[in-house]
Amino acid sequence: MIGSADTPPGRLKVFLGYAAGVGKTYQMLDEAQELRRKGIDVVIGYFEPHGRQDTIAQTESLELVPRKILEYRGSKFEEMDVDAIIARHPAVCLVDEFAHTNVPGSPRLKRWEDVQVLLHAGIDVFTTMNVQHLESLNDEVWRIIGVRVRETIPDWVVDAADEVVLVDLTPQALQNRLGRGVVYSTDKAKKAMENFFTETNLTALREMALRHAAHEVEGRLSDLKTPVPAPTTLVPPPGTPARKERILLCLTGRPSTAMLIRRGKRVADYLEADCLAVHVERRPANGARAQALEKHMTFARNLHIDARVLVGRDVAKTIVDFARSQNVSQIFLGRPGNLRWWKIGDSVVERVVRLARDREITIVAERRR
Amino acid sequence: MPAATDKRPSPEELLRRVQAEERLAGRGRLKVFLGYASRCGKSFRMLDEGRRRKERGEDVVVGALQSPCAPDLSSLLRKLEVVPTIKARHDGREYELLDTAAIFRRHPQVCLVDELAYDNPPGSRNPKRWQDVDNILRQGISVITAINLQHIEEHQDAVERITGKRVSQTVPEHFLRSAQEIVLVDAALDDMMKRAGAREPVDVRRLSELRELALLLAADVIDGQLNNYLQANGLEQRWGTHERILVCITPRSNGEAMLLSGRRNADRFHGDLLVCYVRQSGLDAKDQQTLQANLDLARELDAEVSTLEGPDAIAAIVKFAQEQRVTQIFVGHSAPNPWQELFRRSPVDRIIQAAENIDVRIFPHPSAP
């Protein structure tokens, strides 16, 4: 039976770029053509032509599974037809624009969730994305290029891919392509170039893509290595692998908590640490506060962070006690807002810092532009 | 770009730039395809770019190719004009030299040169092929070339640790960095294995490590280019795309733990480690000794060590951190002093308050339980 638990999951290959027009889709199609010539059953599940002639030419003789048409607020939208692809059951399915958000009314919110369904059904998937769509880089991208990317993918989805291949092109070459109207029609290109495709923005994003690709390679490398042994002394001599860290993120209802979650998870991923999150409240929240909090909890859980709510009269003490009981090595807190001089030592942050002198504590800055 | 602030260059700086531009004027442009192993597709990318440029009307010739020519390259090669290499024999070995005289006479706009790291036979005018390429660039001819990470001089130690081998044919990194454009040619590991076929066993770990190094080298080169660009345009970059960790040493903090952690964190993030201490007067002999031991350790750990001056230590640290585009400050917990804490904020609290945009990590005090 298709999609049964016995089917080995399909393999996921991600073509990672840093901007529209660097050639992700082209390279994906190029590899698909090679597979087709070798007699492997490849279909296109979703393809975004953007009117690019040489890319469109690359789809020749590849089978295209028709899209599903959905109506939303009187307009028609086209989305990938997951059921039709599963019924067709190719060996490999190409899915462009991994970070896409489906139109409301679709079975799943995000295209990456559709891809999970295809993988679960035992179909290999090739997909494309840009580095700025990674959830953990959202604040960095905003700070550097001034764009708040809305369509994001949790990092674990990409980390779980079997292969992440960097598709590289120099910003100069990309700007030439834009100028020639290869990427967008020329009017649109001019606007894009002025606003987003500046040489500094492109270079910064490209550097991020290269570093992230290296991070993905390293993650797969450490999967090959043996687990880290437990420490015998407090300060191990240089060169010995450190004890596995456990990081605790302290959530609040404040909007900057999203930043704290992204940053904390990113640090945890790079240190290969466990990541927990906790919110402490004096009494159960209700109304808008409960809603804001619930949003953060869901966000944390979507990033595969073990998040829970504790009730305690003394917030700082509850956090520190919990950290000790969970063997947390590092506590992450948001930077306190404006402190008043007459309340020295009174904020939760200051109190945690005083109470947990035996732990590492990181105060996460609010990223500002 | 709001992330950068205006910075007026000094007259000396302007003069230096004008001279640099004059030197560059009339020189051809260098573009390098950087790969991480043979068969990752560098030569193909190089020839394909030559083909596309020729189709767009540029005058392109091939100056040197790896022999024997791979079958997938021959169809590309047929579309390009070749200036034959000079064959030579020395000590029973066959050599192929770039025919620079013929290339100068032919004087194309673009010359493709494969295998940038190639040793010419003893007695040649230039011992190394990259020096021939340098001469071609001086004639105003642009060069597109390809090289593997293993052949970059400065990375020989790292490569030897991974592969157990050193190569004799190398190119200095400054030549790579002089390129106007560098493109990373990435390839998925399973594709590398397929290309290798049954001919030879593929060491996944070794390939992954080389791949990671190549990605990081490209990121570093690009980071340098970004800084040059920002400087050349009178822009000062405030926030980098990679982590820079600043460890603040005092005679009383647990310097060793902070430094070891700083090194490990910087390595995990592929970032930089900086160490600073603020000069204090009236240190006793024991404090002086501890401080010296920590600074020695910092240098041993390959940190950039700086001594800061100023009446207000916190202000000096934060100012330095902002100037150095630091992303994380590591500080030690202050020794508990409840009497003092009643009236004023501790140094740690003051750093947290002052260090906008920078994370602050606080380390346990040695006296902590």
Return the higher-pLDDT residue of A299 and B368: A299
Position A152 pLDDT exceeds 70: yes
Q: Cβ contacts (< 8 Å) between B348 and chain A: which residues?
A: 353
Return the higher-pLDDT residue of B259 and A287: B259
CA quadruple B292, B298, B301, B302: dihedral sign: negative
Q: Is A270 in Cβ contact with B352 (below 8 Å)?
A: no
Q: Is B356 in Cβ contact with A144 (below 8 Å)?
A: no
Q: Could you tell me where in chain B the CATH 3.40.50.300 domains are found?
A: 4-235
Q: What is the mean pLDDT of residues A87-92?
A: 97
Position A256 pLDDT exceeds 90: no
Return the higher-pLDDT residue of A140 and B273: B273
Position B360 pLDDT exceeds 70: yes
pLDDT-derived band at A242 (thresholds 50, 70, 90) equals low
Give the three-state DSSP class for A77. strand
Q: Cβ contacts (< 8 Å) between B185 and chain A: which residues?
A: 168
Q: Is B186 in Cβ contact with A166 (below 8 Å)?
A: yes
Q: Could you tell me where in chain B the CATH 3.40.50.620 domains are found?
A: 244-363
What is the predicted pLDDT for the residue at A327?
92
The percentage of residues in chain B with a pLDDT greater than 90, rounded to a whole number, is 54
Residue A73 to chain B, least CA–CA distance (Å) = 38
Q: If you measure CA to CA, which chain A residue comes closest to B239?
A: A144
Q: Is B229 in Cβ contact with A336 (below 8 Å)?
A: no
B338 touching A (Cβ < 8 Å): no
pLDDT-derived band at A274 (thresholds 50, 70, 90) equals very high
Q: Quick check: B225 and B163 in contact, CB under 8 A?
A: no
What is the predicted pLDDT for the residue at A49?
81
Give the bridge partners for B235, in sequence order.
B6
B126 touching A (Cβ < 8 Å): no
Q: Is A203 in Cβ contact with B188 (below 8 Å)?
A: no
Q: Is B344 in Cβ contact with A363 (below 8 Å)?
A: no
Residue with tokens 């590289």: A168
Give the three-state DSSP class for A296. helix
Q: If you measure CA to CA, which chain A residue comes closest to B212?
A: A214
Residue B108 to chain A, least CA–CA distance (Å) = 20
Q: Quick check: A87 and A118 in contact, CB under 8 A?
A: no
Q: Using CA atoms, how far apart are residues B232 and B134, in angstroms rounded to an integer?
A: 24
CB pairs under 8 A between A and B: 173
All structural domains of chain A? 12-220 (3.40.50.300), 246-364 (3.40.50.620)
What is the predicted pLDDT for the residue at A236?
43
What is the predicted pLDDT for the residue at B366?
67
pLDDT-derived band at A356 (thresholds 50, 70, 90) equals confident
Q: Cβ contacts (< 8 Å) between A146 and chain B: which residues?
A: 1-3
Q: What is the mean pLDDT of residues B337-360?
A: 73
Q: Quick one: fold of B244-363?
A: Rossmann fold (3.40.50)
Q: Is B212 in Cβ contact with A203 (below 8 Å)?
A: no
What is the predicted pLDDT for the residue at B193?
85
Closest by Cβ to A217, choosing from B1, B212, B256: B212
What is the predicted pLDDT for the residue at A231?
40
Q: How many CA atoms lie within 13 A of A198 on its CB side?
A: 18
The lowest-confidence range among A324-333, B62-71, B255-264 is B62-71
Closest to A279 (Cα-Cα) out of A245, A243, A304, A306: A306
Determine the distance from the C-alpha atom of residue B18 to the mean position of all C-alpha atoms in its chain, rounded to a whole number: 25
Task: Determine the residue among B5, B110, B186 to mutate to test chain A binding: the one whose Cβ has the most chain A Cβ atoms within 10 Å.
Answer: B186
Q: Cβ contacts (< 8 Å) between B332 and chain A: which residues?
A: none
Give the three-state DSSP class for B361. strand
Q: Quick check: A363 and A335 in contact, CB under 8 A?
A: yes
Q: Is A173 in Cβ contact with B181 (below 8 Å)?
A: yes
The DSSP secondary-structure symbol of A208 reads H
Enumerate residues 301 to 320 of chain B having a beta carbon within 8 A of any beta carbon in chain A. 301
pLDDT digits (tens, 9 = 90+) for A209-240: 999 999 999 988 887 765 544 443 344 444 44
B182 touching A (Cβ < 8 Å): yes
Closest by Cβ to A360, choosing from B4, B237, B363: B363
Closest by Cβ to A363, choosing from B204, B241, B360: B360
Q: Is B187 in Cβ contact with A200 (below 8 Å)?
A: no
Closest to B98 (Cα-Cα) out of B57, B41, B141: B141
Task: Determine the residue among B142, B222, B239, B242 to mutate to test chain A binding: the one whose Cβ has the most chain A Cβ atoms within 10 Å.
Answer: B222
Closest by Cβ to B2, choosing from A220, A357, A369: A369
Q: What is the mean pLDDT of residues B18-25?
A: 65
Q: Is A364 in Cβ contact with B364 (below 8 Å)?
A: no
Q: Is A365 in Cβ contact with B358 (below 8 Å)?
A: yes
- DSSP states of B324-353 as a string? TT-SEEEEEPPPP-HHHHTTS--HHHHHHH
Q: Is A162 in Cβ contact with B359 (below 8 Å)?
A: no
Closest to A151 (Cα-Cα) out of A135, A128, A167: A135
Position B7 pLDDT exceeds 50: no
The lowest-confidence range among A80-94, A161-175, B183-197, B332-346 is B332-346
Residue A214 to chain B, least CA–CA distance (Å) = 5
The lowest-confidence range among A84-93, A276-285, B16-25, B251-260 is B16-25
**Residue B40 is encoded by which pair of tokens?**
């990752």
Q: Cβ contacts (< 8 Å) between B333 and chain A: which residues?
A: 353, 357
Position A255 pLDDT exceeds 60: yes
What is the predicted pLDDT for the residue at B6?
40
Q: Is A357 in Cβ contact with B226 (below 8 Å)?
A: no
Return the higher-pLDDT residue of A121 and B17: A121
Closest to B4 (Cα-Cα) out of A283, A144, A325, A130: A144
The percentage of residues in chain A with a pLDDT greater than 70, rounded to a whole number, is 90
pLDDT digits (tens, 9 = 90+) for B201-215: 778 899 999 999 999
Which strand (E) or helix (H) includes residue A363? Answer: strand A360-364
Q: Is B348 in Cβ contact with A213 (below 8 Å)?
A: no
Name the residue type at position A46: Y
Q: Is A353 in Cβ contact with B257 (below 8 Å)?
A: no
Position B58 pLDDT exceeds 50: yes
Residue A350 to chain B, least CA–CA distance (Å) = 7
Specify the CATH architecture of the domain B4-235: 3-Layer(aba) Sandwich (3.40)
Give the bridge partners for B119, in sequence order.
B128
Q: Is B183 in Cβ contact with A221 (below 8 Å)?
A: no
Q: Is B183 in Cβ contact with A207 (below 8 Å)?
A: no
pLDDT digits (tens, 9 = 90+) for A16-70: 999 999 999 999 999 999 999 999 999 999 998 887 888 888 888 899 999 999 9
What is the predicted pLDDT for the residue at B355?
82
pLDDT digits (tens, 9 = 90+) for B164-177: 888 889 999 999 99
Exposed, middle or buried by CB within 10 Å (0-12, 13-18, 19+), for B285?
A: exposed
**β B142-148/B244-248 pair status:** unpaired
Q: Using CA atoms, how far apart are residues B97 and B101, in angstroms rounded to an integer?
A: 11
**Residue A328 is encoded by which pair of tokens?**
């947390």
- Helix/strand/coil (H, E, C) string of B34-76? EECCCCCCHHHHHHHHHHHHHHCCCCEEEEECCCCCCHHHHHH
pLDDT digits (tens, 9 = 90+) for A164-190: 999 999 999 998 888 887 777 777 777
Q: What is the mean pLDDT of residues B338-358?
A: 72
What is the predicted pLDDT for the residue at B16?
65
Mean residue pLDDT of chain B comes to 86
Q: Is B185 in Cβ contact with A339 (below 8 Å)?
A: no
Q: If you measure CA to CA, which chain A residue comes closest to B49?
A: A173
What is the predicted pLDDT for the residue at A2?
45
- DSSP states of B190-255 as a string? HHHHHHHTTTS---HHHHHHHHHHHHHHHHHHHHHHHHHHHHHTTEEE---SS-EEEEEP-TTS-H
